[in-house]
Amino acid sequence: MKVRLLSVVLLWFVCVAVLFPAEKKEGCTTAIINGGASADGAPMLWKNRDTDTLENKVIYIDEKPYSYIGLVNAEETSGRWVYAGLNSEGFGIMNSVAYNLPKTGGEMQDLEGLIMSEALRTCRTVDDFEQAIKKNLGASLGSWANFGVIDGDGIAVIFEVHNHGYKKYDAAGAPEKYLINSNFARSGQEGKGAGYLRFERAEALFKEIPGKISHEYIFQNIARDFGHPLLKHPTLKELEKISNSQPYWVYSRDCINRPSTAAAVVIIGRTPGDKQSIATFWVLLGEPVTSIAVPVWVEAKGTPAPLLDGKNAPICAEAMRLKRIIRPLAEDSKEHYMQVTRLVNKEKTGFLPALLKVEKEIFAETTQFLKTAHTGEELRTFQEKMAQKAQMALELIKPIRE
């Protein structure tokens, strides 16, 4: 694979690094899942994206050799800067910053979004991506990250990449057949980096999964989790017994669902050996407890209007509105405090149960829909219908009267 990074002038790289800064420190919680651990028998990627840029969209890019869909910042819809994506060959990729990998001053950095867009455009397999990284190692690669990668052959791996080297870990070799990541690399300096509390919490939650891992379980029980490995935070069941008449605040800086979480993505790859299987890009725009996941397919050759239209995608805008209900304190570090009884409470006036209900309906309808093969037009119509359903459900949520 020839990656255009080598042919682009250094000045352009500098401009990109300035215009599109790195994700917020301690950002992103992820998992790379081998088909042996997944409910569908297909490899999976999960990412809770943490970033300063809370307005996100989903785009479709008609490219050669491969078209792709991707999660992007709302103002960056060219497709040249992607934070999680899936292409027409069933190749999927996402990342998390790894703050304990080697880093040399004066070299290019923070170009992971560009690296991923190039991979989506040109890679068919995990091996293609590895060869591209090898060819581009050097001061202008611009990587300091863990990349989760899957392909149509069922491979699911992590590449821990810095400008002058990388380490590869195959999820198939892990005892659980999956690998959890936050913001440190296994091959990096021990005890350094960030996100250890989120990593510990995610590991504990994955161990509680009954049976095989599904995208439904990840969205409903892990991506939205605001538990803490060291502190006692109420569960949703416990919140059902707490009145909304008295504010109940949770400090969520070190939670999986946190104020900087702009989106959650689960990519389900193709099932190895099944020629009719189709890879699905599940995406939730906004802080997970304020939004609803919907499916998107590359074969649909487009993304639903609620995930794309306008300056800020409609679903994202609605999620931002609900975010202000649970996080009304905007000053300084007060953003980390979440009023959790506005999600679930004794009076049953919290909005989260309604969102979970609609999302479960979307999961069920999609499962039924995918039991048979479909044309691109049918896929496009269905994903639009599901996205519209999610948008309407969000719009029905009104501010809570205490």
List the CATH number of the domain containing 297.
Answer: 3.60.60.10
Count other C-beta atoms under 10 Å from residue 328's C-beta.
14
**Domain annotation covers residue 110:** yes
Q: What is the pLDDT of residue 275?
A: 77
Distance, in Å, from the CA atom of 185 to the CA atom of 179, rounded to the nearest integer, reads 12
Q: Which residues of the chain have pLDDT under 70?
A: 1-26, 400-402
Tokens describing residue 342:
């506005």
Domain that holds residue 145: 24-395
Distance, in Å, from the CA atom of 122 to the CA atom of 12, rounded to the nearest integer, reads 21
Q: What is the pLDDT of residue 401?
A: 58
Q: What is the pLDDT of residue 400?
A: 66
Q: What is the pLDDT of residue 80?
A: 95
Q: What is the pLDDT of residue 399?
A: 74
Mean pLDDT of the chain: 93
Q: What is the pLDDT of residue 246?
A: 87
pLDDT in tens, 214-272: 999 999 999 999 999 999 999 999 999 999 998 899 999 999 999 999 999 999 999 99
Distance, in Å, from the CA atom of 92 to the CA atom of 45, rounded to the nearest integer, reads 8
**Domain annotation covers residue 135:** yes
**Domain annotation covers residue 402:** no
Q: What is the pLDDT of residue 276?
A: 83
Judge if the upstream peptide bond of residue 288 is cis by omega within 30 degrees of 0: no
**Domain annotation covers residue 18:** no
Q: What is the pLDDT of residue 26?
A: 59
Q: What is the 3-state secondary structure (H, E, C) of 370-393?
A: CCCCCCHHHHHHHHHHHHHHHHHH
Q: What is the pLDDT of residue 382?
A: 98
Per-residue burial over 362-380, b = 16 or more CB atoms within 10 Å of its CB, e = otherwise = bbeebeebbeeebeeeebb
**Domain annotation covers residue 14:** no
Q: What is the pLDDT of residue 107?
A: 95
Q: What is the pLDDT of residue 3?
A: 42
Domain count, the chain: 1
**Domain annotation covers residue 191:** yes
**Domain annotation covers residue 178:** yes
Q: What is the pLDDT of residue 46?
A: 98
Tokens describing residue 307:
């995930």
**Domain annotation covers residue 1:** no
